[in-house]
Structure 1
Amino acid sequence: MSSVSSPETELAKLNDLPDGGFHAVTATLQGDAETLVLYRDGAQVRAWLNVCPHAGRALDWAPGQFLKSREGHLVCAVHGASFELEGGICVAGPCKGDSLRAVPVEVRDGRVLLAGA
C-alpha cells in the first residue's frame, strides 16, 4: 500500500497499477488520512474510499488485497457485498443499491492524481 501526504497529489504511477486490478493507497482528503481503492481499466482509473457502506468496514481481506468476483465485481471481504466497477454501486449483498464513495482522480502524463488538486 502506498501513502500520499498533503500537499502531494500523485497517488500512483499508471504503469504500477495492474490493468483490471486493484491497488490501495493512503491519501489526505479534507485533512484526514483515508485509504483508497484504485481500480485500473486500461488508461482509466477509478477510486473509492476503502469503506463498505454496509457496516463501515474496509473492503480488503488483508491490507491492499482485494477480492474480485467472476462477474468482475469488487467484493467486500467482510460480508460479501459486490460492487460493480463502473460506478461502485452495490449489486448484491447486504447493502444492495448503496454505492461506494467515489474519489475523483485523473490520469495525466502516466500519473494518477487526485482530481482538482
Structure 2
Amino acid sequence: MVQYLDPPLDLSFAALSDATRRGIIDQLGRGEASITSLADKFHMTLTGMKKHVQVLERAGLVVTQKVGRVRTCKLGKRGLKAEAEWIEAHRKLFEARFEALDEIINEMNREGSDD
C-alpha cells in the first residue's frame, strides 16, 4: 500500500480532528488565553488542557509563552493555508466525480424511459 506523507498536513489534521482542540482554536481566535483559563472554559484539568495545547503547538497552530507562572496561548502565524488548499483540491475532485455520476444516472434514466 502506498502512503502519502506530508508531516505538516498530518499534524494539522490530527490536531484538528478533536472537537476540544477545534474549540481551543476558536477561543484563541478571539484573543490570547492562559492554559488555566482554557481549562476552566472547557471544564477540564490543567494537565488535560496542557496535552491538547501541546498537540496544537506541535502542529504549529498555537504558540505559548511562559511569563512567571502563567503560560499564555495564542494562534500560531502559520495559519491553515496548506490545509485549505488541500481540502479545496479534493472538493473539486469530488464535485467533478459527482457531476459525472449524475450524468450517468440521467443517461440511464433517459434510456429507461425510452423503453
Same fold (TM over 0.5): no
Structure-1-length-normalised TM-score: 0.24
Larger Rg: 2
